[in-house]
Amino acid sequence: MPALNIPKDDQLGLALLREMPDDALAIAIIELERSPDSVPSIPNFSPEQAQQFKNALQTMYTVRAYADVPLEEFVSDVCEALREESELPASSEPRFRERLSRLLSIDALNVAAKAVLLQREHEHDFCSVRILTDARPIFGDDVSGPPSAIIITHMLKLSYHEGAGGRLREIYISMGSGDMARLRAALDRAEAKATSLRDVLDGRLRFIDPQRKE
């Protein structure tokens, strides 16, 4: 696979993994297997450090799922990238390799990473939204006089990527008050359907929401 470019925050998270005591690592693995959607509680780690460690691990899972390469090859690529950044001393590499391999073998996290990719496997991937509102005057025949009326207009600005991580593009859609109401109703209906599906399948399958905030 192409050379990895590991963000600085994830480099710091991987450094926490490298320096983590063995007993703390064992507890982290147990916590991640038991509750993969939560930030693990790790002895002598602050909540911020635990979050940084979990974020780095999620990045590794997502990148590996996207690249679709064998675990051993991916771990070698990570180590090579860290060596190039002087973030992995030669003396620490064998132990780090073994630790990273263990952590990247948690099935629940692997499934979650695949869910992230599946959610983004579309021609257009949502990025952001804004609604711009302004008032426009309406003049009568005599444009030198004050306006006769005013109209409120809305402009829906949707930003999206062409495929996951692709080029960012934008589209502008004009909307009136009725359009706003229909959009709000459609969003409410979609949320109600999602809740209904969760209720029907509750306890049968694990639900994964890649965009859920911890």
pLDDT digits (tens, 9 = 90+) for 99-149: 999 999 998 888 888 877 777 767 888 889 999 999 999 998 888 889 999
Give yes or no for residue 213 having a pLDDT over 70: no
Give yes or no for residue 165 having a pLDDT over 80: no
CA distances from 51 to 6, 9, 54, 79 (A): 17, 11, 5, 22
| Mean local confidence (pLDDT), 182-199 | 91
- 20 contacts 56 by C-beta, under 8 angstroms: no
Determine if residue 116 is left, alpha or beta; phi over 0 gives left, psi from -120 to 50 gives alpha, anything else beta. Answer: alpha
Q: How confident is the model at residue 199 (pLDDT cuts 50, 70, 90)?
A: confident
Whole-number Å distance between alpha carbons of 48 and 13: 10
What local confidence, expressed as pLDDT, does residue 74 receive? 94
Helix axes 8-19, 71-84, angle to 10 degrees: 110
| Mean local confidence (pLDDT), 75-84 | 94
| Mean local confidence (pLDDT), 85-101 | 94
Residue whose C-alpha is closest to residue 33's, from 116, 120, 102, 129: 102
What local confidence, expressed as pLDDT, does residue 117 receive? 73
| Mean local confidence (pLDDT), 22-36 | 92
Residue-averaged pLDDT of the chain: 88
How confident is the model over 108-120, as pLDDT tens digits? 888 888 877 777 7
Q: Where are the beta strands (DSSP E) in 139-181?
A: 149-162, 168-175
| Mean local confidence (pLDDT), 32-45 | 90
Instruction: Judge residue 140's burial from the number of C-beta atoms within 10 Å of its C-beta, 0-12 exposed, 13-18 middle, 19 or more buried.
Output: exposed
What local confidence, expressed as pLDDT, does residue 211 receive? 66
What local confidence, expressed as pLDDT, does residue 126 receive? 86
Contacts of 77 (CB under 8 A, 6+ apart): 1, 3, 4, 69
